[in-house]
Every structure is written in C-alpha cells, then in structure tokens.
C-alpha cells in the first residue's frame, strides 16, 4: 500500500525532525539563537492554527489574533489577580479562547467570503477596544487598559519557553497530519472545493467548520498564554495587534495554504527574513512583505509547497 509506505516515511521524518529540533537548545550556546528558534516555533504554531481553519476550509479568518490576545489576558489575569500557577493558567487560556470561539463561530460561520472575513476582523478589533477601555468606562481594574499587565517574573530560562512553545507547536503540526488523513480533513477540503455539494453529500459543514474554528482558537489561546509569560508584559495594542493576523495569513500563504508543510516553510522563511531585515530596516521589511504578497498571489497562488507539489508531483507526506 502506497499509503502505508508514505505514512512510515512520514513518521521517520517527523521523529527525526522533532528530535533534531528538541536538541537544538543543547547544541547552540547563545541565548539569542534559542530566542530566535522560539520565535520561529511560535509563528509556525500560530500560522498552523490559521491554516487549520482557513487554509483547509477557504474561510478567510481575519481575526485569529483575538484568541491569541484572549489567551494572553486569561493567563495574565489569573496569574496576577488570582495567584494561579503558570501551567493551569495556560490551560485556562486555551479553554477561555475555545469557549469564546464557540458562540462567535456559530454566529459568524454562517457568513460567506468577504462577510466572514470582515466580521471576524470586527470582532478582533472590538475585543482590543474593550480591553483598552473597559476599566476606564466602568471604573474597575480588570484589564488595566492601555497600561497593560506586568506578569510575575518567571525566573525561567529561555530554554523553558522554547520547550513550552515546542510542545504546543508539535501538537498543532501533528493535528495537521491527522487532518490530512481523516474524514474530518476530507470534510474540510470538501467545504473548500464546493460547500453546497459537500452539504448535499451529507457532510455536516457547519459542525466541521465550528470544530476547526474552536480547535484553532484553543491552540492560539495556549500560545498567547505562553508568550505573555515569556514577554512578562502585555498591552491590548500588542497582543491584539492586527499585524499578528497579517503575519499568520502571509506565512501560510507563502508556504502554501491547506498544506501540511506550508505554515512551517512560510513561518520559518518570514521570521528569519524579518530578523535579518526587520530590526534595522522596518519600512523596507514591510515594503518587501507587501511585494512578496503581490508576487505570490500573481505568480504562485499555491505558495512554495503547493507550487513544488504541482510542478514535480512530489508527495511530502
């Protein structure tokens, strides 16, 4: 069976890659490299979350950052206000994000195309404004407004956060694989190809979309929580920054939407590029990102992985 062989090849490749990645902090000595590696992993995870929902179904979510931000805030508030420990707080962050995604998903996933994109975007911006203005308007101290929240200093090394992010990203990548080979995944792809036809064929399209949406929100919440504790200082304009959404979209697009390797390739390329260019030439970096988007859309709309797959007929999995 071809399927079995490719599956075996995948597992060998996957285990080797994960061992190599998890040994990374032990091999390199500079803190800087570990930080960069953590950032790359974080973006792979975030782009992966976006890919899970939007890449496979074709429903373009322009507000995924809201679940990242909610996760950051859930972690920060439960740690500073209720003295909770880090790990329970992060789990809570994921749960809060998923619970929030449920009603939002139910209401917005009925919308199509541009309307879904705008609604999700509007929701993300609403949450940003609410967390900015809630305290001042109602005279309480909960979100702390634009001052932001300072989390307790962790005292953990960069390696600790590297492994935290790695664990979550690892699960997200595994999820991609299982989606590619499950009924759930075929359902999502069917929604992308022709939603009415899928519905007639008996696919519970709304249920599947909702599952994908809530799953991606849960993992974004986890990542948001971990990042908050790592950075130790969060503000609404930071964690709900629309730029984060943009990065997720572009990374996935560059790598290839709805492919397993897409987010990994896209996130690695763009993070390294921005590390190289972004620190010194911010504007040049943004101009370049704009140009990259235009070129990808015009020349290779399937992204790097999708285009190679098409040209050479290579199967990565």
Partner 1 sequence: MDTVLLQAIINGLLLGGVYAAYSAGFSLIFGVMGVVNLAHGELIMLGAFTSYWMFVYLNMDPYVTTPFAMVFLFVFGYLLQKYIINRVIEQPHIMSYILTFGIHLMVANLALKFWTHDFRSITTAYSGMNAAFWGLNVPLSRLITFCLALLIIAALWFFLARTETGRAIRATSMDKEVARLMGVNIREIYAITFGIGAAITGLAGASISPFVIIFPEMGLGYTIIAFCVVVLGGMGYMPGALWGGLILGVAQSLTATYLSAGISVAITFLILFFMLIFRPTGIVGKGLAA
Return the residue matching tokens 């999502």.
188
| Least Cβ distance, residue 60 to partner 1 (angstroms) | 5
| Least Cβ distance, residue 31 to partner 1 (angstroms) | 31
Binding mask 14-53 for partner 1 (x = CB under 8 A): ----------------------------------------
Here the tokens at position 45 are 């995870």
Helix then strand then coil, in percent of the chain rounded to 5, is 80, 0, 20
Q: Which of residues 133 and 159 has its CB atom nearest to partner 1 in the complex? A: 133
| Least Cβ distance, residue 201 to partner 1 (angstroms) | 21
Query: Is 12 one of the binding residues for partner 1 (CB under 8 A)?
Result: no
Whether the Cβ atoms of residue 179 and residue 188 lie closer than 8 Å to each other: yes
| Least Cβ distance, residue 79 to partner 1 (angstroms) | 26
Here the tokens at position 278 are 């972004």
Cross-strand pairs, 234: 149
* 79-to-85, 136, 181, 306 alpha-carbon distances in Å: 6, 22, 39, 42
Q: Which of residues 159 and 238 has its CB atom nearest to partner 1 in the complex? A: 238
Query: Is 294 one of the binding residues for partner 1 (CB under 8 A)?
Result: yes
Please give the Cα distance from 23 to 17 (Å, whole number): 10
Q: Which of residues 135 and 159 has its CB atom nearest to partner 1 in the complex? A: 135
How would you label 2-26 residue by residue, b for 16+ Cβ within 10 Å and e otherwise? eeeeeeeebeeeeeeeeeebeebbe
Q: Which of residues 153 and 298 has its CB atom nearest to partner 1 in the complex? A: 298
> Which 233-292 positions form the footprint of partner 1 (CB under 8 A)?
242, 246, 249, 253, 283-284, 286-287, 289-292
Sign of CA dihedral 248, 250, 252, 258: positive
> Which 68-127 positions form the footprint of partner 1 (CB under 8 A)?
107-108, 110-119, 121-123, 125-126
Query: Is 188 one of the binding residues for partner 1 (CB under 8 A)?
Result: no
**CA angle (69 as vertex; 291, 210 as ends), nearest 5:** 85
Q: Which residues bind partner 1 (CB under 8 A)?
A: 58, 60, 107-108, 110-119, 121-123, 125-126, 129-130, 132-133, 136-137, 242, 246, 249, 253, 283-284, 286-287, 289-294, 297-298, 301
């Amino acid at each position: 069976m071809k399927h079995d062989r490719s599956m075996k090849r995948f597992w060998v490749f996957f285990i080797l890659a994960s061992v190599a990645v998890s040994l990374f902090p032990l091999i390199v000595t500079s803190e800087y490299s570990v930080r960069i590696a953590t950032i790359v992993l974080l973006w792979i995870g975030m782009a992966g979350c976006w890919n899970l929902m939007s890449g496979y179904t074709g429903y373009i979510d322009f507000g995924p950052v809201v679940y990242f931000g909610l996760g950051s805030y859930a972690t920060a508030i439960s740690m500073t206000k209720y003295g909770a420990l880090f790990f329970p707080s992060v789990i809570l962050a994921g749960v809060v994000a998923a619970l929030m995604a449920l009603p939002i998903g139910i209401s917005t996933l009925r919308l199509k195309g541009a309307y879904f994109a705008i609604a999700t975007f509007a929701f993300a911006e609403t949450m940003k404004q609410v967390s900015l203005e809630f305290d001042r308007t109602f005279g309480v101290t909960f979100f702390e407004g634009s001052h932001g929240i300072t989390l307790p200093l962790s005292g953990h090394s960069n390696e600790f956060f590297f492994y935290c992010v790695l664990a979550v990203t690892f699960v997200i990548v595994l999820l991609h694989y299982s989606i590619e080979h499950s009924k759930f995944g075929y359902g999502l792809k069917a929604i992308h190809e022709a939603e009415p036809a899928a519905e007639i064929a008996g696919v519970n399209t709304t249920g599947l979309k909702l599952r994908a949406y809530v799953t991606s929100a849960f993992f974004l919440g986890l990542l948001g929580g971990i990042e908050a504790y790592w950075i130790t200082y969060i503000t609404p304009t930071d964690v709900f920054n629309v730029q984060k959404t943009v990065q997720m979209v572009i990374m996935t697009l560059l790598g290839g939407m709805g492919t397993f390797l897409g987010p990994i390739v896209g996130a690695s390329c763009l993070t390294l590029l921005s590390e190289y260019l972004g620190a010194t030439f911010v504007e040049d970096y943004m101009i370049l990102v704009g140009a990259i988007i235009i070129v990808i859309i015009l020349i290779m709309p399937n992204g790097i992985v999708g285009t190679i797959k098409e040209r050479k007929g290579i199967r990565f999995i």
